[in-house]
Structure 1
Amino acid sequence: MGRRAIIFHGTHAEPGWIWYPWLGDRLRGRGYDVEIPHHPGTNTEPIGTFLPKVLAAHTFDEDTVLVGHSGGAALLLALLEHLDVTVAQAVLVAGYSTQPNDNPEPVLQDAYDWPAIRSHARELVFLNSVTDEFGCDAEQGRALFDRLGGTLVVRDDGHFVSETLELVDRLIP
């Protein structure tokens, strides 16, 4: 079927915001079929009812690269746990698996099957910042790395809301 990338936006975000369209264009230029879906239920609808909708809306295979930002990165944990295939790569930008701040986080599950998550991505990359204003910080990235392995990159880039994100582009083959 060919290489595919799906970029999942963060909480209260949209596909046209920040670096999402820029990364989509970069990946298309390298031959990827790119989806940047709008899922307004991300981190507003409970994961138990939201996840089946996301799983049904997309096709996943061994050539799929998943990119998630913030709430979209947290969503990737649930997606990976429940997939029936192993995707090529999952890149979690400002990802987290526990409550990062005082806001409700319905995207989070009460518990995770870490071995299942690990088995459903050939490569896992976590990109977190020491200065993340929403608490999706380096400690959250380290907790994911400790449970799942992969690659952890720690920057000083806030919540990664620039118009471009060169590092993510370089991390995807």
Structure 2
Amino acid sequence: MTKNAIIFHGTGGHPDVIWYPWLDRQLSARGYRVERPHYPGINVEPITEFLPRVLASHDFDTDTVLVGHSGGAALLLALLEHLQAPVAQAILVAGYATRVNESDEPVLQDSYDWDRIRSNAGDISFINSITAPYGCDATQGRLMFDRLGGTQIIRDDGHFGDYNQQYDTFELLDRLIR
């Protein structure tokens, strides 16, 4: 069976920036079928309206790896809660589960079924930075880790790519994906 990977960009992001195309090439070379969808509605539209379109647009199964960055990582929490079957692996990069700054965060749900997320997430990892410019920092990573288990990795790498932070490769992420 073919392994699948879906890479979700962050708020205001695009699938062709920072490390997303690089990771696509790395995983494709390892035999993955990779999707890098463009979702301008991430963290713009309310999650209750946005999530059904995401669920209907992709296939999720035990051979699927999900990678989300920033708002895309927050999206993964809702996605994992509402899947009909578990995925192999979920990696949340600069993720968060609560409001982290003064911005409206429509990607967040009011509450989460942590047990359901845990049962659908497969091998789950959180990569956060101690110097995250938007508040999606190591504290947020710890909050999710405490509820879901898995692996928490804390770096000092800003936002792991942003409009003002070059981050064209992400070797750690490539090594984490089985």
- State the TM-score bracket (shorter-chain normalisation): over 0.9
Query: Which amino acid in structure 2 is aligned with residue 167 of structure 1?
Result: L
By how many angstroms is 1:115 displaced?
0.1
Query: Which amino acid in structure 2 is aligned with residue 63 of structure 1?
Result: D
**Normalising by structure 1, what TM-score?**
0.99
1:8 equivalent to 2:11? Answer no
Q: Where does 1:39-78 land on structure 2 (aligned, <5 Å)?
A: 39-78=39-78
Runs of 5+ in structure 1 lacking a partner?
none
Query: Which amino acid in structure 2 is aligned with residue 164 of structure 1?
Result: T
**Normalising by structure 2, what TM-score?**
0.96
Query: Which amino acid in structure 1 is aligned with residue 157 of structure 2?
Result: D
Distance 2:31 2:76 in 1: 23
Query: Which amino acid in structure 2 is aligned with residue 155 of structure 1?
Result: R
Task: Please give the root-mean-square deviation of Cα atoms over the aligned residues, in Å.
Answer: 0.5
Query: Which amino acid in structure 1 is aligned with residue 104 of structure 2?
Result: P
Partner of 1:87: 87
Q: Where does 1:1-173 land on structure 2 (aligned, <5 Å)?
A: 1-161=1-161, 162-173=167-178
In the alignment of these two chains, the number of paired residues is 173
By how many angstroms is 1:14 displaced?
0.5
Runs of 5+ in structure 2 lacking a partner?
162-166
Distance 1:132 1:121 in 2: 24
Identity of paired residues, percent?
66
Cα-to-partner distance string for 1:31-58 (whole Å, 9 max, x where unaligned): 0000000011000000000000000010
Distance 2:169 2:102 in 1: 28
Query: Which amino acid in structure 1 is aligned with residue 53 of structure 2?
Result: K
List structure 1 runs of 4+ shifted beyond 4 angstroms: none
Distance 1:14 1:34 in 2: 15
Cα-to-partner distance string for 1:79-106 (whole Å, 9 max, x where unaligned): 0000011100000000000011111100
